[in-house]
Structure 1
Amino acid sequence: MERDARVLASSFGAAAVAYAEHRPDYAPAAVRWALERAPGRRVLDLGAGTGKLTATLVALGADAVAVEPDPAMLAELRRGLPNVRALVGSAEAIPLPEASVDAVLAGNALHWFDLAVAGPEIARVLAPGGVLAGLWNVLDDRVEWVAGLREVSGSAAIGPRDTLGSWRAAVAGLPLSGDGELNEFPHGQRRTAGSLVATLATRAGMLVMPEREREAALGRIRAFLASRPETSGGEFTLPMLTGVLRVQPR
């Protein structure tokens, strides 16, 4: 992983509480599809963060274990999901034995992995016939005001995998061993203008931005949301999809 990517990937712990509060969960239908070819119910949430995907796995009846390298994010996961086995580790050094899980899922995390190292590690912990799936929550930029929000926000807040129009191309280039299948599922999140600004403030590009630039960017987003009838009058549903890349590693 290049230095800039490592800086971005390690930025989330400073905003772990805000991440837990504001980041969306994952569409249950997307998680079901990710798991439908897995040979069993043992699922590893890899790069689990504060447990957004882990919680959906638990709700669907999976036997879930979470692995996360950042101690602040892991603390939030353990606080919110005290009955889930949650371990310190990374995609490049998974603290599980060989063939111990039927599926490895990564929620908004697969693109952070050093896949040259993580790929063999994931293959090691997967049981025969096991599945790897990356899931991403993306904004539905087919909606006019969402496309406008993307333009105002800039790539630090809404990046190259954060909209329907771009995530497919971005994930198709990931160096994975096996034939990938892509799918997307309708999703949404109840937001206010304030909570949407808080959500975008937890994006990696925003977290590493100099404070003056960050506040200027958030100010532009606030002004845009205040100017739109869809978002200026209280609660609204943010149009989203959960995109899934599913692979059965060779």
Structure 2
Amino acid sequence: MRLTFLGTGSAMPTGHRAQSGYLVESGDDALLVDCGSGVLDALARTDRGYEGVDTVLLTHHHLDHVSDLDVLLKARWLAGETDLTIAGPPGTQSLVEDLLSVHEYMQDRLDLTLRDVDGPVSLAGFDVEHVETRHSMQCFAYRVTPATGGPTIAFSGDSEAFPDLVEFADGAAVFVHDCSFPDDVDVSNHPTPSALGEALAGADADLGRVYLTHLYPHTEGRHEEMLSSLGDRYDGDVRFAEDGLSITVDER
């Protein structure tokens, strides 16, 4: 199983981080989690390419998680691909239909399957479970596991840190978690490293490696400081994600 970080940035571009996007691969199966600005270009640089990804799973509908969706639609059509599945929280179907109403010439270019997630689902060869996070709009965290068996990757989506969310990721080989700001930023709807460290330490969960993502410009140059703050509270394996990082994920 392979995880590639296509975009580890936020709604404020830095020039070297795309917005949110992650590619999960297991054999011939591939799933794109979120599709923010810059993600399509990053996907084109992978061996899989946008031609090889026919399923997108959205954590929520903020612009920095969906803004490359219509770009992906057009790119797949121009490349001769015929279909695309897009799934996400309630309202995902309406979101895509509204995009197509703005870009009318894209109507009926692809055979679209639109799914509002309301329980466990099977997508692109993966079993997907969800739980709602604590964010400024409805947002889902996900557990993604190959349908044929194998390791689990968990994604927090955008969220404040809280133990129940960490426990949702129990047993995951990799947990990709929002850590948008350093401790001296007063923020809601996203965690700081101290808040995340407390949630990780306070949860009854056995986790593999934790990767920090959704990084605002405020975090640049402060990674060691942030890891130290988190490490004062949680002694697990925590690292910063970077655009283009691609890792093999094995069973814990």
TM-score (norm 1): 0.38
Higher fraction of helix: 1
Q: Taking CA–CA contacts closer than 8 Å with sequence separation of 6 or more, which of the two structures ends up with the larger relative contact order? A: 1
TM-score (norm 2): 0.37
